[in-house]
């Protein structure tokens, strides 16, 4: 048997998959394929949370001989000739890929409705979106089809669907996990991370996939002084805990946004007003946030209100940088080297034009245009370089609270941490509707405020369920200093001890 296939597995999955459509490719019957690879030194308990279990992989992450559509019509029939390092490390531990999951095209979106391949529904309410862009991975875990899945997070794409579907979603520190085999959208912001059914499983999977990979020069080993993932405390100064958690309250966010805009340009004040409105938490999300705050207080943490002054510039800076990098990264899709091409073209330019016109969806085209605009000569200072300065400011704001990074030798550098993590919302709404009651594309982007700052700063953040309100899960987020995933997951695990993960109706626990 390829993996421990529990009684009734096939019927259970077929039923769910008909309802939610999480997978672009679904191959639970593949013969066992233990892939040779580096033997990892995981504690036996951790390895047992991965070995001989099935997992799903977002379809912008390469797995040899599986499709790699990236949710795009342009790549609808493209199969990968190689496997991403993160997936390979899990396979080497005896886990088996049983399918590739749906996503917003190239990771651009917050609903998975921007997929050019199919639609995915939220397991809690199939009329709603699963979130995005890793919506298929989140839905598959929430439904219990797989115990864990790989996703990617450029501006919130693991944490937001995890919140919408009621699972744990970890976006690691930039560089902690190899990006080899992740199809590039915005390379300086994104990384591969984990969606899973418990904090313990999230920790085990992260432990398996992290670390330097010679195939990705931006990947690095875990610094010597970083808090350990397993085992109590650490001798290094970075291992110390403060017992303090910062809270970025909805009021603090509203204050930050209230004085945004007003730069005088036409439409700017109006845009700022709409953005502030879109970032306001719906009452159910506010209740979930309060529940998480009280839970942490009851667990003995000292809570301290924080302000992040640079927050108001996060979304514009994120979309400027993400679009700029996307326009460069997506230039490779020309119909010559990859993917679907038209049957007839007049000349090479016509071939490229026709390939892209037919292959890319609206959102992707919009971002390529935006990216080429902000990179136009003469405009770079005004947009791209300014966004990079904002980015540095955001990181500095977080480091002032959370402590600095590490030097080349892995020693803790910068100031000592004032707090272990910052608690903040994930998204202003629960899983939203389709059709007329859907969030507008602009509102969806403005709502990325709470997630995109971790990507701009390169810091780790984890989203986990705080409550169920009106039949839909609400998630909250903890953000920490670089390489503090161990601290964040300790906190999630403590919360899980008093509030275990909720499950959608019809869920059966198949995985030990
Ligand atoms: N919603 C964000 C975007 O559309 C985040 C996407 C992501 O993290 N891949 O860019």
CA 32 to centroid of ligand 1, rounded, Å: 34
Residues in contact with 494: Cβ distance below 8 Å, sequence separation at least 6, in sequence order: 299
Number of domains in the chain: 1
- Which atom of ligand 1 sits closest to the CA of residue 156? 8
Query: Please, what sign has the CA dihedral across residues 367, 369, 374, 376?
Result: positive
Catalytic positions, please? 58, 133, 157
| 205 in Cβ contact with 384 (< 8 Å) | no
Q: Which of 373, 314, 328 is nearest to 186 (CA)?
A: 328
- Which atom of ligand 1 sits closest to the CA of residue 134? 9
pLDDT at 38: 61
d(CA 305, CA 423): 10
CA 155 to centroid of ligand 1, rounded, Å: 5
- Which atom of ligand 1 sits closest to the CA of residue 444? 1
Q: Per the confidence metrics, is the pTM higher than 0.85?
A: yes
| Secondary structure string (H, E, C) spanning 464-509 | EEEEEECCEEEEEEEECCCCCHHHHHHHHHHHHHHCCCCCCCCCCC
CA 133 to centroid of ligand 1, rounded, Å: 6
Pocket of ligand 1 (CB under 6 A): 107-110, 133, 153-157, 185, 322, 448
Q: Which of 100, 33, 42, 39 is nearest to 69 (CA)?
A: 100
d(CA 460, CA 453): 10
- Which atom of ligand 1 sits closest to the CA of residue 154? 8
Tell me which of 60, 101, 129, 154 to substitute to probe ligand 1's pocket, judged by most ligand atoms within 8 Å of the beta carbon. Answer: 154
The one-character DSSP state at 310 is G
| 138 in Cβ contact with 397 (< 8 Å) | no
Per-residue pLDDT of the chain (512 residues), as tens digits, is 457 788 899 999 999 999 999 999 999 888 776 676 666 678 999 999 999 999 999 999 999 999 999 999 999 999 999 999 999 999 999 999 999 999 999 999 999 999 999 999 999 999 999 999 999 999 999 999 999 999 999 999 999 999 999 999 999 999 999 999 999 999 999 999 999 999 999 999 999 999 999 999 999 999 988 889 997 654 444 456 889 999 999 888 888 887 655 556 667 777 778 888 888 999 999 999 999 999 999 999 999 999 998 988 999 999 999 999 999 999 999 999 888 889 999 999 999 999 999 999 999 999 999 999 999 988 888 999 999 999 999 999 999 999 888 888 888 887 778 899 999 999 999 999 997 788 999 999 999 999 999 999 999 999 999 999 999 999 999 999 999 999 999 999 999 999 999 999 999 999 97
* CA separation, residue 92 to residues 89, 95, 321 (Å): 5, 7, 35
Q: Which of 477, 489, 389, 377 is nearest to 427 (CA)?
A: 477
CA 423 to centroid of ligand 1, rounded, Å: 21
- Looking up residue 299, the CATH number of its domain turns out to be 3.90.1300.10
Residue nearest to atom 4 of ligand 1 (CA): 109
d(CA 434, CA 475): 20
Partner residues linked to 462 by β-bridges: 170, 478
Tell me which of 448, 455, 456, 477 to substitute to probe ligand 1's pocket, judged by most ligand atoms within 8 Å of the beta carbon. Answer: 448
Q: Is 8 exposed, middle or buried (0-12, 13-18, 19+ CB in 10 A)?
A: exposed
Give helix 199-209 / helix 85-92 axis angle, nearest 10°: 110
CA 508 to centroid of ligand 1, rounded, Å: 30
d(CA 205, CA 198): 11
Residue nearest to atom 10 of ligand 1 (CA): 108
Which residue range is the domain that position 5 belongs to?
Answer: 1-512
| 169 in Cβ contact with 492 (< 8 Å) | no
């Amino acid at each position: 048997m390829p993996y421990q296939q529990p009684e009734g597995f096939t019927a259970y999955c077929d039923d769910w998959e008909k309802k939610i459509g999480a997978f672009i490719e679904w191959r639970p019957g593949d013969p066992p394929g233990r892939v040779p690879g580096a033997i990892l030194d995981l504690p036996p308990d951790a390895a047992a949370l991965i070995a001989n279990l099935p997992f799903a992989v977002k379809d912008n992450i390469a797995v040899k001989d599986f499709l790699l559509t990236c949710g795009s019509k342009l790549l609808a029939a493209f199969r990968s000739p190689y496997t991403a390092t993160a997936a390979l490390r899990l396979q080497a531990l005896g886990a088996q890929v049983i399918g590739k999951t749906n996503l917003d095209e190239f990771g651009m979106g917050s609903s998975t409705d921007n997929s050019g391949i199919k639609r995915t529904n939220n397991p809690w309410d199939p009329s709603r979106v699963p979130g995005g862009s890793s919506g298929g991975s989140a839905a598959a875990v929430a439904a219990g089809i797989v115990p864990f899945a790989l996703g990617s997070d450029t501006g919130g794409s693991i944490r937001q669907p995890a919140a919408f579907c009621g699972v744990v979603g970890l976006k690691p520190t930039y560089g902690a996990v190899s990006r080899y085999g992740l199809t590039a959208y915005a390379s300086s912001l994104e990384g591969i991370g984990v969606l899973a059914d418990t904090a313990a499983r999230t920790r085990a999977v992260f432990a398996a996939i992290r670390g330097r990979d010679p195939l990705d020069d931006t990947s690095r080993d875990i610094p010597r002084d970083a808090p350990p993932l397993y085992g109590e405390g650490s001798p290094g100064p970075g291992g110390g805990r403060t017992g303090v958690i910062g809270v970025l309250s909805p009021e603090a966010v509203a204050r930050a946004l209230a004085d945004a805009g007003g730069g005088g340009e036409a439409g700017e004040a109006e845009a700022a007003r709409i953005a502030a409105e879109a970032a306001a938490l719906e009452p159910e999300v506010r209740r979930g946030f309060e529940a998480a705050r009280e839970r942490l207080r009851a667990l003995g943490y000292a809570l301290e209100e924080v302000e992040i002054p640079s927050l108001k510039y996060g979304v514009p800076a994120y979309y400027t940088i993400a679009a700029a990098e996307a326009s460069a990264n997506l230039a490779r899709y020309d119909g010559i080297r990859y993917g679907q091409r038209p049957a007839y073209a007049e000349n090479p330019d016509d071939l490229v034009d026709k390939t892209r016109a037919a292959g890319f969806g609206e959102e992707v085209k919009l971002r390529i245009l935006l990216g080429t605009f902000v990179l136009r000569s003469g405009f770079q200072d005004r947009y791209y370089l300014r966004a990079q300065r904002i980015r540095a400011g955001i990181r500095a704001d977080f480091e002032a609270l959370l402590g600095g990074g590490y030097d080349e030798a892995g020693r803790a550098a910068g100031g000592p941490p004032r707090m272990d993590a910052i608690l903040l919302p994930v998204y202003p709404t629960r899983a939203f509707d389709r059709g007329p009651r859907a969030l507008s594309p602009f509102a969806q982007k403005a709502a990325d405020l709470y997630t995109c700052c971790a990507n701009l700063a390169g810091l780790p953040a984890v989203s986990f369920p705080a409550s169920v309100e009106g039949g839909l899960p609400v998630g909250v987020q903890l953000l920490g200093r670089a390489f503090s995933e161990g601290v964040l997951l300790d906190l999630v695990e403590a919360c899980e001890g008093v509030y275990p993960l909720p499950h959608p109706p019809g869920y059966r626990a198949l995985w030990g």
